[in-house]
Amino acid sequence: MADLPGPLAAFIVGEMRRARGAAGMTQETFGRAAGFSASHVSAVEGGTRALTIDFIKGTDRALTSGGLFERLAATFGAPSWFLPWLDAERAATQLRYFEPNLIPGLLQTEAYARDVLRLDPRLTGEEVERRVKARVERQSILHREAPPTLVVVVDEGAIRRSGLGAEKMMDEQLEHLVACAERPNVSVHVVPADVGVYAGLSGPLSLAHLLDGGWVGHLETQLGGEVVDRPGDLDTLFERWESVRNEALPRRQSQDLIKERLTNGST
């Protein structure tokens, strides 16, 4: 599962299998109750099929466990509101991200991700480290045999933002961003500061194109996030994406701007 460290996903699957056996359920009877075929259950338990949030929720229904397994995934992996988007991200053939304030998670270094996650005062040091590891593991989709096409647009403010004492961390992040942008499946674009006010400043957005030809969107707020799949809402997100993309610099000019920031600093 893309949002959980591998050992944790294996642990949760093992606990699900043990709970199914303790309930006296075969893979077939369990699958009917959970909403999956017996072959799907066998593949997840055997490690040849990914553990998804839908399977986790189905397990909780089938075993009447009161949401135990979803809480395990949320507590030790990503927040529960983020899990459906991560399932879409893992299955996507194309991904589009716009961020007005931060570098998107798929292109973050460990140090940058750690600094961002530390901004949440509710997270303990241990929880921050778990989420840093999970965020970095998400990036494996960019290195698989058939990686998705990733198009990222960031505001210039995101590449110039750096706090006192964080200059080295930010330089390493920008070097990593440049290296990522040189991959054939990754395109990074920057909206320059002289654009002024534009539609994207209202907040980040994400879009994923799935194997079945459909699209899924994601919006993140201070309180959580929402997966968007209603046609009218998707139309609005596409209009917003096109507006943002049209304000951004071409790929090569964007890389030059990032490299200029590396050379001259944040000023």
Domains along the chain with CATH numbers: 6-76 (1.10.260.40), 80-264 (3.30.870)
* Percentage above 70 pLDDT, the chain: 89
147 contacts: CB under 8 Å, gap ≥ 6: 141, 185
Q: At what angle do helices 110-117 and 167-181 cross, to 10 degrees?
A: 120
In three-state secondary structure terms, 239 is helix
Which pair of tokens denotes residue 93? 């053939």
Which single residue is written with the structure tokens 């997270």? 123
234-265 pLDDT, tens per residue?
A: 999 999 999 999 999 999 999 999 999 988 86
| Confidence band, pLDDT 50/70/90 cuts, at residue 165 | low
**φ, ψ for residue 98 (rounded to 5)?**
-125, 130
| Confidence band, pLDDT 50/70/90 cuts, at residue 48 | confident
* Cβ atoms of 111 and 169 closer than 8 Å: yes
Distance of CA 221 to the CA centre of its chain: 14
> 183 pLDDT exceeds 90?
yes
pLDDT mean over 146-169: 88
Residue predicted with more confidence, 10 or 158: 158
Per-chain mean pLDDT for the chain: 86
Which pair of tokens denotes residue 174? 């920008």
Return the pLDDT at 1.
37
Beta bridge partners of 95: 150, 208
108-120 pLDDT, tens per residue?
A: 999 999 998 888 8
Report the run of H or E that residue 228 belongs to, with start and end: strand 225-228
Distance CA 267, CA 261 (A): 8
54-83 pLDDT, tens per residue?
A: 888 899 999 998 888 887 776 655 555 456
Beta bridge partners of 206: 97, 218
81-138 pLDDT, tens per residue?
A: 456 677 788 889 999 999 999 999 999 999 999 998 888 887 788 888 888 888 888 8
Distance CA 147, CA 263 (A): 31
190-213 pLDDT, tens per residue?
A: 999 999 898 888 889 999 998 888
